[in-house]
Amino acid sequence: MGKLTREKAWGKTYLGPPHTWPQSLRTTLSIILNSKFPMFLFWGNELTCFYNDAYRPSLGREGKHPSILGMRGEDAWPEIWDIIKPLIDRVLAGGEATWSEDQLIPIFRNGKIEDVYWTFSYSPVNDESGKPAGVFVTCTESTEKINLLKQLENSNEELAFAIEATELGTWDYNPLTNKFSGNKRLKKWFGLMSHTEIELHHAINTIAAEDRDRVSAAIQKALDNSSGGNYDIEYTIIDPVSKKERIVHAKGRAWFDETNRPSRFNGTLEDVTEQTIARRKFENLFKEIEQHREKLNIVVNASELATWEMNLKTREIHYSDKYLEIMGYENGTALTHPQILKHLHPDDLPVREKAFEDAFSNGILSYETRIIWKDGSMHWTEVRGKVFYDEDGGPSHLIGTVRDITNEKDLTNKMEKLVEERTKELILSNESLKKSEQRYHLMVEEVQDYAILYLNREGIVENWNTGAEKIKGYKADEIIGKNFSNFYTKEDRESNLPQTLLNLAVQTGRAGQEGWRVRKDGSYFWASIVITAVHDEKGNVIGFSKVTHDLTDKKNTDDALKKNAWELEQKNIELEKMNKELQSFAYVSSHDLQEPLRKIQTFASRILEKENENLSEQGKELFSRMQGSAKRMQALINDLLAYSRTHTSERKLEETDLIKIVEQVKLELKEELQQKQASIEISALCPVRIVQFQFQQLLYNLISNSLKFSKPGHPPLIKIKSEIVEGISMGNPALALGTKYCHVSVSDNGIGFEQQYNEKIFELFQRLHGRMEYPGTGIGLAIVKKIVENHNGIITAKAELNKGATFDIYIPVA
Amino acid sequence: MSTDTHKLLLADDDMDDCMFFKEALEELPLATELTTVNDGVELMQFLNASVANLPHLLFLDLNMPLKAGFQCLVEIKENKKLKALPVIIYSTSMDHEVVNTLYEKGAHYYICKPPEFSLLKKVIQEVLTIIMQNDAARPPREKFIIQVQ
């Protein structure tokens, strides 16, 4: 450049020839031209351009070199003049020097506008006057640097992109500072803040507890120079946020300095969770398959199956040892397919062909054929197989089994023969069964008075007979298939009676019941039913037979009887009531009737006593007769009362000694007995079951009669005796056969009576004598008879005029 | 028993019978004092009021209005203060069962009302005599009924 500068024709330029140049310019130029650093100068008003060799490269080729030497600045740099002119002006104006770094100022060079980066400084150059006359430019082109930086940036971007694409985490550990950092992803995995560096042991804490020692050991090994610095390990980390496990594969390298100390340790971290899980699954699956295979082998070996496999394309066959056994060969023999086919029984070849045809259409091979061994023996084999297809869907393999079924076949044949015979037998017995069934059917069918049905286990009617139709009103097709509860009343159904009866039949074998049932037309009938459980050979209940009998008529009769009995009882109760009323009526009325009579007598006797002197004999006589009438009436009332009481009083039968009763009566009649000098003889009195006071009344009446009807002048002798007799022996038809009686007889020596009156005397109010002859009401013997009848006994009387009378009383003993 | 005046109590609703009884007593040679009540309620009231000074003997008719003689007998014999009083049943009926029950319930004697005045006098005398002799002790059942002819 020095040369060029010297040799330039400066005379034509603004500056003129060099010797006119000021010293400052010359000095500056000499600095510039001698410097190895790129420099440029704008001098003077025209900002004439000067530059050195070092600067030249920046101008490129086909550009401004060397033309811009001595040119006006504006002419030299038109493309950037608006950028640099302000800077030049500033400097010339006395301002400070400028500094621009890495500034993009595109210039024309190498035939085009190029992007050029400059680092430059404009500084003022003063002339002799001390004012800035030019601008001194020191500059370097930093285009390369910038381009490199850009490239580096791009590379980094690409790298990051690549790393991002690979989904790797990158980590970097500085062993000197013990600090650990990584890319965004790694930091995320380790739960680190994206801008931090952390200490190594923090990072290790993220590792799963069981892996920590292993990882630490691997790190230590890598950091040891002797290991070569390699680091390759898989471990599990636990995401600090989600707590999810992440299996990672760490690969890295340690870098060592001259002293073999680790200076750098970095690498990648790959998330292999999915692969690891998949791989583990696969390993498990593989294990399982192995196990299954083993099992299969065991099973196959245990069975009699031989396995075989045929490649359908090459017709090659593989087979198990058992296969050879079945074919009748020794272990180790090699068999080809054609050889095998030769053993097939010729008649069975079509069977095999057809089976293969079917197999190719539906994928399953299955047939049985005979084979003939080398030694001529015949065996049956069963072949099973499955077709396997290749990717094109064409059959590629046939895999299957073979089994020797010779024994089974023999058995099968035998069985078939047996079955045939059996079937013949069954047909025969079926026919006879049908016949007997028909007979039974007819038997049951035609019965009319009983409904005989068959119910199944649930109570559905399955059979029907004529009797059922008659009794219940349904035809067979109307009721078969329906539940038998249809025959029951609504109330019985609600109280679950049908099911209860079935259950009872199941438990005890049969259930019987009487109750109302409903006919088809809704009318009721009274039925007597029996449900019997029917069993199979094992004893399970399979159904029920039901027999129904229509008892409506009988029931009506029974009901009528019951009603009658009830009415009877009601009448009885009424009668008793009436009786009681009557009794109290009788008692009261007799009492009330008696009282005035008593008064009449008492008053009469009082008058007779008191007015004795005032009364005439006739008067006294009249009073006396009045008294007599009253007395008679009193006697009558008493007797009537006694008579009524024999009907109505309680019958308390007691075993009594008659002597006691007689003694009581003797007491009662003491005066009379004494008066008449009568005697009573008692002999052999057996105890007898009687109502005591009634019997006392009876004896009183009989004995007082005997006293009354005694012969004048003959002291009465009354004999009373009793004995046990058999009813039959007395010759009295009224005495029941086979009953024992106590026979009490009371006899006297009085006036007796004519035998023809022996029944009349017992009638009420009947007398054999007038009142003037013998007093009496005619009730006494009626009372006696009533009392005897109360005791379920009999009384008879026999007598002879003037000889006396005997009364025979028979009282049943038991 | 002293020969003091016999204090007799008669419970009877019949006016005539009361008159007969009174006249019969008057004609008997016994020192007696007669009080009459006419129904069961009046009887019990009288007795409860006279607890300190009970009569010697009670002649009790059975058929009385308001409260029957039987009921009165029962009440008297169940009453500690009254049960010592001898009760003579003085009635018209002769029902065996009734008589037995009366004996069981504690009556001393049973008299049937006689139809003649003389017999009435007789029976009253007999009763009083027996009571005096036996010192108002109760008789056995056979002697429960007093009959006169």
Let me know whether A654 and A760 are in one domain.
Answer: yes
pLDDT at A395: 85
A101 contacts A119 by C-beta, under 8 angstroms: yes
Is the confidence at residue A399, as pLDDT, over 80? Answer: yes
Q: In Å, how far are A275, A293, A296, A628, B74 from A282, measured between CA atoms?
A: 10, 16, 20, 145, 116
Closest CB from A598, A609, A671 relative to B115? A598
Is residue A285 domain-resident?
Answer: no
- Residue A124 and residue A23 share a domain: yes
Q: What is the pLDDT of residues A163-174, one digit of tens each?
A: 778 788 888 888
pLDDT digit string (tens) for A165-210? 878 888 888 887 877 777 888 878 877 776 666 767 777 788 888 8
Q: Residue A599: its chain B contacts at CB < 8 A?
A: 16
**Same domain for A321 and A394:** yes
Residue A389 amino acid letter: Y
Give which of B44, B56, B52 is closest to B6, Cα–Cα.
B56
What mean pLDDT, rounded, does chain A reach?
Answer: 85
Q: Same domain for A214 and A307?
A: no
Q: What is the DSSP letter of A574?
A: H
Task: Say yes or no to pLDDT of A729 above 80.
Answer: no
| CB of A330 closer than 8 Å to CB of A321 | no
Give the residue-averaged pLDDT of A242-269. Answer: 86
Task: Give percent helix, percent strand, percent coil of chain B, each to the nearest 5.
Answer: 45, 20, 40
Indicate whether A217 belongs to any domain: yes
Mutation site, A605, A697, A699, interface B, largest B CB count within 10 A: A605
Predicted pLDDT at A648: 58
Looking at residue B140, its pLDDT comes to 86
A541 near A457, Cβ under 8 Å?
yes
**Chain B nearest C-alpha distance from A789 (Å):** 21
CB contact under 8 A, A598 and B92: yes
Whether A709 has a pLDDT exceeding 90, the answer reads: yes
DSSP for A665-709 reads HHHHTHHHHHHHT-EEEEE-PPPEEEEHHHHHHHHHHHHHHHHHT
Q: Which domain holds residue A344?
A: 303-404
Place of tokens 């994928």: A363
Phi (first) and psi of residue A748, to 5 degrees: -135, 175
pLDDT at A704: 92
Alpha carbons A775 and A707: distance in angstroms, whole number: 12
Q: Are residues A248 and A356 in the same domain?
A: no
Q: Which of A505, A527, A550 is the last residue of a domain?
A: A550
**A592 membership: H or E segment, kind and range:** helix A552-610
Residue A276 lies in a domain: no
Distance from the B87 Cα atom to the nearest Cα atom in chain A, whole angstroms: 22
Instruction: Find out whether A480 and A464 touch, Cβ atoms under 8 Å.
Output: yes
Cross-chain residue pair B16–A606, CB shorter than 8 Å: no
Q: What is the pLDDT of residue A149?
A: 86
Q: Does A667 sit within 8 Å of B115, measured CB to CB?
A: no
Q: Which candidate, A689, A684, A682, places its Cα nearest to that of A656?
A: A689
Strand order in the sheet with A794-800: A679-683, A717-726, A740-747, A804-812, A794-800
Residue B1 has pLDDT above 50, yes or no: no
- Kindly list the structural domains of chain B, giving each domain's residue range(s) and its CATH number in brackets, ordered by start: 6-146 (3.40.50.2300)
The CA-atom distances, in angstroms, between A547 and each of A244, A490, A519, A530, A642 are 80, 21, 15, 5, 62
Chain A residues near residue B93 by CB distance under 8 angstroms: 587, 591
Q: Which CA distances in Å does B66 have to B14, B42, B43? A: 14, 9, 10
Domain co-membership, A254 together with A308: no
Distance from CA of A645 to the nearest CA of B (A): 10
**Interface residue of A598, A639, A666, A697 to substitute, partner B, most B CBs within 10 Å:** A598
B33–chain A Cβ distance below 8 A for any pair: no
Chain A, nearest residue to B148 by Cα? A671
Instruction: Please write the tens of the pLDDT for every residue from B27-66.
Output: 998 889 999 999 889 999 999 998 888 899 999 999 888 8
CB A450 within 8 A of CB A467: yes
In this structure, the answer to whether residues A136 and A201 fall within a common structural domain is no
Q: Is B140 on the interface with A (CB under 8 A)?
A: no
Comparing A86-100, A397-411, A531-545, the range with the smallest average pLDDT is A86-100
Q: Are strands B145-146 and A198-199 parallel, antiparallel or unpaired?
A: unpaired
Tell me the backbone φ, ψ of residue A230, rounded to 5 degrees: -85, 145
| Dihedral pair phi/psi, residue A50, rounded to 5° | -130, 145
Per-residue model confidence (pLDDT) at position A196: 66
* Highest mean pLDDT out of A463-467, A779-783, B65-69: A779-783
Query: Is B27's Cβ below 8 Å from some Cβ in A?
Result: no
**pLDDT value at residue A464:** 87
SS3 track for A397-455: EEEEEEEECHHHHHHHHHHHHHHHHHHHHHHHHHHHHHHHHHHHHHHHHHCCCEEEEEE
In a domain, A211, yes or no: yes
Residues A137 and A175 in one domain: no
Averaged over A448-463, what is the pLDDT? 89
Least confident interval from A394-408, A642-656, A770-784? A642-656
Give the total number of structural domains in chain A: 5
Q: Is B16 within 8 Å of chain A by CB?
A: yes
Residues 110-139 of B with CB under 8 A from A: 113-118, 120
- The DSSP code for A172 is E
CA of A641 vs chain B CAs: smallest distance (Å)? 10
Distance from CA of A583 to the nearest CA of B (A): 13
The answer to whether the CB atoms of B149 and A671 lie below 8 A apart is: yes
pLDDT of residue A568: 92
* Burial category of B137 from C-beta neighbours within 10 Å (exposed 0-12, middle 13-18, buried 19 and up): exposed
More confident residue, A11 or A120: A120
Binary contact (A601, B116; C-beta < 8 A): yes
Question: Which residue's structure tokens are 């299955």?
Answer: A366
Give the ipTM. 0.80
Q: Which one-letter amino acid corresponds to residue B66?
A: L
3-state SS class at A729: helix
- Could you tell me the pLDDT band of residue A650, with boundaries at 50, 70 and 90? low
Does residue A529 contact residue A548 with C-beta atoms inside 8 Å? Answer: yes
pLDDT at A715: 92
> What is the distance, to the nearest Å, from the Cα of residue A205 to the centroid of all Cα atoms in its chain?
53
Phi-psi region of A531 (alpha: psi -120 to 50; beta: other; left: phi over 0): beta
Residue A683, in any domain of the structure = yes
Q: In terms of residues, how long is chain A?
A: 814
Q: Looking at A515, A550, A585, which one is the last position of a domain?
A: A550
Q: How far does the CA of residue A634 sit from the closest CA of chain B (Å)?
A: 10
Better-predicted residue by pLDDT, A59 or A572? A572
A270 and A171 Cβ atoms separated by less than 8 Å? no
Closest residue by Cα to residue A787 from A642, A679, A588:
A642
Q: Taking CB atoms and an 8 Å limit, are B117 and A594 in contact across chains?
A: no
On the question of pLDDT at A441 being above 60, the answer is yes
Strand partners, A515: A527
Within 8 A of B27 by CB-CB distance, chain A residues are none
Is A630 close to B20, i.e. CB distance below 8 A? no
Pairwise CA distance, residues A389 & A311, whole Å? 11
Nearest CA in chain B to A694: B96
Measured CA to CA, the distance from residue B36 to residue B15 in angstroms comes to 10
**H helical segments located in chain B:** 15-26, 40-49, 69-78, 96-104, 117-134
Q: A606: which chain B residues are within 8 Å (Cβ-Cβ)?
A: 20, 117
Whether A540 and A671 map to the same domain: the answer is no
pLDDT, tens digit, for every residue of A36-67?
888 888 888 888 888 888 888 877 776 777 88
CATH number, domain containing residue A344:
3.30.450.20
Domain end: A369, A404, A439, which one? A404
- Domain membership of residue A246 (yes or no) is yes
In the numeric block, the tokens 């080809």 are attached to A336
Evaluate whether residue A712 is within a structural domain: yes
- If asked whether residues A133 and A42 sit together in one domain, one would say yes
Chain A: residue nearest B17 by CA? Answer: A599
Condensed to tens digits (0 to 9), the pLDDT of residues A215-230 reads 888 888 888 878 788 8
Cis peptide before A66 (omega within 30 of 0): yes
Q: Which amino acid is at A700?
A: Y
Do A174 and A114 share a domain, yes or no?
Answer: no
CA–CA gap between residue A471 and residue A200 (Å, rounded): 105
Identify which of A127, A121, A128 has the alpha carbon closest to the alpha carbon of residue A96. A121
H helices of A66-142, where?
A: 73-76, 81-92
**Cβ pair B93:A595 closer than 8 A:** no
- The whole-angstrom separation of Cα A386 and Cα A401 is 9
Cα-only R_g, chain B: 14
Q: Which of A4-13, A340-349, A586-595 has maximum average pLDDT?
A: A340-349
Most A CBs within 10 Å, among B14, B95, B149, to test the A interface: B95
A vs B: CB pairs below 8 A: 38
Same domain, A660 and A796: yes
Q: What's phi and psi for A275, nearest 5 deg?
A: -65, -40
pLDDT tens digits for A322-339?
888 888 888 777 878 888
Strands A364-372, A378-389: parallel, antiparallel or unpaired by DSSP? Answer: antiparallel
CA A665/CA A145 separation, integer angstroms: 173
Per-residue model confidence as pLDDT tens digits over A404-436: 888 888 888 889 999 999 999 999 989 988 988
Give the pLDDT score at A730: 64
Q: How many whole angstroms separate alpha carbon A606 and alpha carbon B22?
A: 13
Q: Is residue A673 part of a domain?
A: yes
| Cβ contacts of A671 on chain B, cutoff 8 Å | 149
Question: Is the model more confident about B135 or about A78?
Answer: A78
pLDDT greater at residue A593 or residue A477? A477
Closest Cα in chain A, distance from residue B59 (Å): 18
Amino acid at A642: A
- Best probe of the A interface among B92, B124, B142, B148, by most A CBs < 10 A, is B92
Give SS3 for A320.
Answer: coil
- For residue A465, the tally of other CB atoms under 10 A from its CB is 22
Nearest CB to A598 within list B63, B113, B142: B113
What's the pLDDT score for residue A145?
84
How close A778 comes to chain B (CA, Å)?
Answer: 21
